[in-house]
Structure 1
Amino acid sequence: MTATMPSPVTLHGRAVRLVPLTLDHAPGLLAAGGGDEEIWRWRPSAPPASQEAMRRHIASLLERQAGGRTVPFAVVLRTTGEAIGSTCFHDVEGFDESVEIGSTWYGKAHWGTGVNAECKVLLLDHAFGPMAYTRVMLRTDVRNLRSRAAIERIGGTLEGVLRRQYRRRDGTWRDSAVYSILDDEWPAHRARLTGTPSPAEYA
């Protein structure tokens, strides 16, 4: 059995909502950190530092969504409705019942605030619950120690390193650290992160 890609849905957390990404999110995402080189340092594309560049970035994700490869979300604060970042589900070729969480970024004002952990809990609950995936993959540049630590905090197990996966923007080769979480591992990790092994109702 091969799992299908999730349909665009809204996932509700205590501090944030994950909503289907649209071009309307471009102004908020640009303000949150579109032109910040530190945020985009490890990403293959240059920072979308203008309204037009951010719209092109979003349009490329929506094109991949139309092709059944990606489901992109805007990360929106519940208190203000402000878009502060984005994240995606990606198809994983060569694996049954597997999905990838990636292309994630947040404005620096929300680093270290718990936003990332809450977003990952929402995505993992959806992947292992309604979508019935058995494996979630997460990848990052092997040199991105901050991202690797965040993945390990939520329970990611290092599977290995893909050497010379693709060129970085500076022309050097990127090696990618590949992590995964399995469905039968998630309840214990969820309990450690949230205090309960099963999805709780968010107010």
Structure 2
Amino acid sequence: MSKVDRSLCLTGEHVILEPLSLDHVPALINAANDGQLWELWFTNVPDNDGMKAYVEKALEAESIGQALAFAVRDKVSGSVIGCTRICNWDQANRRLEIGYTWYAKSFQRTAVNTESKLLLLNYAFTALDCIAVEFRTHWHNKVSRAAIARLGAKQDGILRNHRIQADGTLRDTVVFSIINSEWPAVEASLKSKLAEHGN
């Protein structure tokens, strides 16, 4: 099993993805307060009191080789504006998921998500030699589903009653993926979308 590279930073024109640490907790609390993101019942963004445990859980998954977590930093302002993660990393089968992604409301629907996904997908398909990358989201999170489809991922299916949420409700999970043979076309499309934002 590969060791997690804690020094890894992925840098683009708009964002820097840097290794997540407990030092990011105060900045992540500020980012989540931009839009009170924890109030969206179909997402898993922690509130102020839960942020430290959220980061600790991400780092625990890293320690056993199942994840690689990043804080997302806006390159212009230097502010931490959210986080994202490689997770459910099945190294033997060269598959992983990109998830636990959220951004401060003022940075949603900007170039941030497109570039973050471009950086992560490039790392997954080139450095990690993945054959498939998954994305999963709540059935009711229409914004997330549309964003994943815009990346070029294809819907694989719906896992019904997939999870029991903290409030006791049952989550249907929509699964999307991009496979390695699709990556060149997806990469070209994402770069074109970024160009439209005016790099």
Q: What is the correspondence of 1:96-175 to structure 2 with a 5 Å cutoff?
A: 96-175=93-172
Q: Shift in Å at residue 5 of structure 1?
A: 6.8
Q: Which residue of 1 aligns with 2:41?
A: 41
Measured against aligned partners, the alpha-carbon deviations of 1:70-92 in whole angstroms (never above 9, x if no partner) come to 11000001123211000000134
2:86 pairs with one of 73, 76, 89: 89
Indicate yes or no: 2:175 matched with 1:178: yes
Contact 1:10-1:19 within 8 A present in 2 as well: yes
- Give the counterpart letter for 1:155 in structure 2: G
**Quick check: 121-130 or 58-67, which moved more?**
58-67
Structure 2, unaligned runs of 5 or more: 194-198
1:145-177 Cα distance to aligned partner (Å, 9 max, x none): 100000000011111111111112332210100
2:187 match = 190
2:51 aligned partner? 54
CA contact (8 A) 1:5 1:70 kept: no
Count of paired positions = 192
How high is the TM-score relative to the length of structure 2?
0.88
**1-structure distance, mates of 2:56, 2:134:** 24
Q: Match for residue 7 of structure 1?
A: 5
Equivalents in 1 of 2:4, 2:124: separation in Å? Answer: 8
Q: Which has the higher helix share?
A: 2
CA distance in 1, matches of 2:39, 2:178: 25
CA distance in structure 1 between the partners assigned to 2:87 and 2:137 by the alignment: 14
> Is there any run of 5+ residues in structure 1 with no aligned partner, and where?
197-202
Q: State whether residues 48 and 57 of structure 1, in contact with CA within 8 Å, keep that contact through their aligned partners in structure 2.
A: no
DSSP 3-state at the match of 1:42: coil
Q: Give the C-alpha shift of residue 43 in structure 1.
A: 3.1
